[in-house]
Chain A
Amino acid sequence: MNSSPAVEIANLRVHRGKLDVLRDLTLAVPRGQVVGLLGPSGSGKSTLMRSIVGAQKVAAGTITVFGVPAGAPALRKSIGYVTQAPSVYDDLTVTQNLRYFAQVIGAPRPDIQRVIHEVELEPQARQLAGDLSGGQRNRVSLAVALLGSPELLVLDEPTVGLDPVLRRDLWALFASLAARGVSLLVSSHVMDEARRCDRILLLHQGRLLADETPAGLLTLTGADDPDDAFLALVSGASA
């Protein structure tokens, strides 16, 4: 069993336009855990995720995923990636979307039914993705990432627009995936979701404010809930 982290990032810098989105970021995502990437919008969460999946041009620093440089062809079958906007074809049904992506990554056919079940979209399987609600479309996008047997899931705000019951179910799914050894990096700007993670990375203006367990974060700041903990850290950082 390899105990090196799933993702290792050292001194990562990313510019987008004239903006320094990520400034000298160093962090690690351990294997087999649900790691929450939290921070206000504009803090660089999506850019960090795009860098890890190899979709982002980086200015400096190194990113290795399972010991290989991020974006290497060998990784393309082992990473499931969900972008913030649901990236599925609106003019295809749920099943047709999944069938195409399953062909691309070489996932077996029964996988399509399995992932539809995992995101609870059986009743919508034959509907066009474009006819679904925002939250349902998000889940189609998530289902695509679950196809095959990804070892790392990079999920950009997968629970946005979902009701509390579905959110709970999805976090339970994430936990069971982690128990199977899958590493997950899940971003959210809802601090409340921090409680459900094994570990939390707190991002603020392109810098890492904290890399802690949820309990550790509260102890560190003496706060009662993640929201207050975040506020305490931010005011500490800007002071």
Chain B
Amino acid sequence: MNPRLALATAARVLNQVRHDPRTVALLLVVPSLLIGLMAWIFTNTKTFDIVGPALLGLFPFIVMFLITSITTLRERRSGTLERLMTMPLGKFDFLVGYTLAFGLLAILQSLIAVAYAVWVCGLAVSGSAWLLILVALVNAILGTTLGLFASAFATTEFQVIQFMPALVFPQILLGGIFVPRAQMPDVLRSISDWLPLSHSIDALQKVISRSDASGEVLRELGIVALWAVGLVVLGSITLRRRTP
């Protein structure tokens, strides 16, 4: 891997995003609006304290999954990827470049969403706010890497969109937002133990509800990060210099 080329790729991707201000605005504002709506719906109940933190993890994950899988698919279809693959650009330069660029966007998105949830919606955070942002960032990177991987199996934008219910919704359902994971049937419980999103939701709930859980949070994040690394490696296998 060549860090200079990864950075050049990240800068190029950010430059592309910059030419699309509407996407940037939606990216940064929509999560906060939805969190605000959620807080409003659950006024005078305890529910927002449980759902609110999970949302902070879900948004970066879902949004980054979508934009990464669609932009990489566009790159595959427009011929720019084929061109890059005939040039001295490594697969990891490409993947790390994308992860860096969208990771940076995710940090901005998370900062705004966390600030809005805490200061406007009154979400009480017992643990460190920095840890909360770190969790959101790792979630975003997970979404980016899953999107990179998924885009290899789609040939149209329609298919990419369908991957969201297929790959993302089960993780949300099994992640412990609707029913605490401890109360699920054994089979589902053990499946959810293996899914990355379960661990990031656990991490978020621990940061929010306890001030002494930093060690546990980092352990959960470690599992999510392992998933992200695994997906980048799988993604690099799907990037081929030679195609049929």
A16-B244, A106-B88 given; A144·B16 CB < 8 A: no
Is B43 interfacial (CB 8 A cutoff)?
no
A-side contacts of B19, CB under 8 Å: 91-92, 128
Query: Do residues B82 and A87 form an inter-chain contact, with CB atoms below 8 A?
Result: yes
B-side contacts of A77, CB under 8 Å: 87-88
Among residues of B, the one whose C-beta sits closest to the C-beta of A130 is: B19
Among residues of A, the one whose C-beta sits closest to the C-beta of B5 is: A104
Cβ < 8 Å to A, chain B residues 33-89: 78-80, 82-89
Q: How far is the CB of A56 from chain B (nearest CB, A)?
A: 6
Is B8 interfacial (CB 8 A cutoff)?
yes
Cβ < 8 Å to B, chain A residues 130-146: 144
Determine the distance from Cα of A104 to Cα of B87 in the docked complex, in whole angstroms: 7
User: Which secondary structure dominates where chain B touches chain A?
Assistant: helix
A56-B243, A92-B19 given; A81·B12 CB < 8 A: no
Is B22 interfacial (CB 8 A cutoff)?
no
Determine the distance from Cα of A138 to Cα of B87 in the docked complex, in whole angstroms: 19
B-side contacts of A96, CB under 8 Å: 12, 15
Q: How far is the CB of B47 from chain A (nearest CB, A)?
A: 41
Query: Do residues A104 and B243 form an inter-chain contact, with CB atoms below 8 A?
Result: no
Determine the distance from Cα of A57 to Cα of B20 in the docked complex, in whole angstroms: 36
Query: Do residues A92 and B82 form an inter-chain contact, with CB atoms below 8 A?
Result: no
Query: Do residues B88 and A104 form an inter-chain contact, with CB atoms below 8 A?
Result: yes
B-side contacts of A30, CB under 8 Å: none
Q: How far is the CB of B117 from chain A (nearest CB, A)?
A: 32
A56-B242, A57-B243, A89-B12 given; A144·B88 CB < 8 A: no
Is A73 interfacial (CB 8 A cutoff)?
yes
B-side contacts of A106, CB under 8 Å: 88
Is A83 interfacial (CB 8 A cutoff)?
yes
B-side contacts of A87, CB under 8 Å: 78-80, 82-83
A92-B15, A100-B12, A104-B8 given; A71·B242 CB < 8 A: yes
Query: Do residues B242 and A55 form an inter-chain contact, with CB atoms below 8 A?
Result: yes
Among residues of B, the one whose C-beta sits closest to the C-beta of A75 is: B86
Determine the distance from Cα of A77 to Cα of B19 in the docked complex, in whole angstroms: 29
Query: Do residues A76 and B242 form an inter-chain contact, with CB atoms below 8 A?
Result: no
Is B210 interfacial (CB 8 A cutoff)?
no
A81-B83, A104-B87 given; A71·B241 CB < 8 A: yes
B-side contacts of A173, CB under 8 Å: none
B-side contacts of A79, CB under 8 Å: 86
Determine the distance from Cα of A111 to Cα of B215 in the docked complex, in whole angstroms: 52
Query: Do residues B88 and A53 form an inter-chain contact, with CB atoms below 8 A?
Result: no
Is A153 interfacial (CB 8 A cutoff)?
no
Query: Do residues A54 and B241 form an inter-chain contact, with CB atoms below 8 A?
Result: yes
Is the interface on chain A under 10, 10 to 19, 20 to 34, or 35 or more residues?
20 to 34
Determine the distance from Cα of A105 to Cα of B93 in the docked complex, in whole angstroms: 13
B-side contacts of A90, CB under 8 Å: 78
**Contact for B84 among A86, A92, A104, CB less than 8 A:** A104
Query: Do residues A55 and B89 form an inter-chain contact, with CB atoms below 8 A?
Result: no
**Contact for A91 among B16, B83, B242, CB less than 8 A:** B16
Is A66 interfacial (CB 8 A cutoff)?
no
Query: Do residues A89 and B88 form an inter-chain contact, with CB atoms below 8 A?
Result: no
Is A88 interfacial (CB 8 A cutoff)?
yes
A-side contacts of B82, CB under 8 Å: 50, 55, 83, 87
Determine the distance from Cα of A196 to Cα of B68 in the docked complex, in whole angstroms: 44
Is A103 interfacial (CB 8 A cutoff)?
yes
A-B contact pairs, 30 of them (CB 8 A): A53-B86, A54-B242, A55-B85, A55-B86, A55-B242, A56-B242, A56-B243, A71-B241, A76-B86, A76-B88, A81-B86, A83-B79, A85-B78, A85-B79, A86-B79, A87-B78, A87-B79, A89-B78, A90-B78, A92-B15, A92-B16, A96-B12, A100-B12, A101-B83, A101-B87, A103-B8, A104-B5, A104-B8, A104-B84, A105-B87
What residues make up the interface of A, taking CB atoms closer than 8 Å to B? 16-17, 50, 53-57, 71, 73, 76-77, 79, 81, 83, 85-92, 96, 100-101, 103-106, 128, 144
What residues make up the interface of B, taking CB atoms closer than 8 Å to A? 4-5, 8-9, 11-12, 15-16, 19-20, 78-80, 82-89, 241-244
Given contacts A57-B243, A89-B80, A128-B19, 5 further A-B pairs with CB under 8 A are A77-B88, A89-B12, A96-B12, A101-B83, A144-B83
Sort A-B residue pairs by CB-CB distance and give the 5 closest, nearest first.
Answer: A87-B79, A103-B8, A100-B12, A76-B88, A83-B79
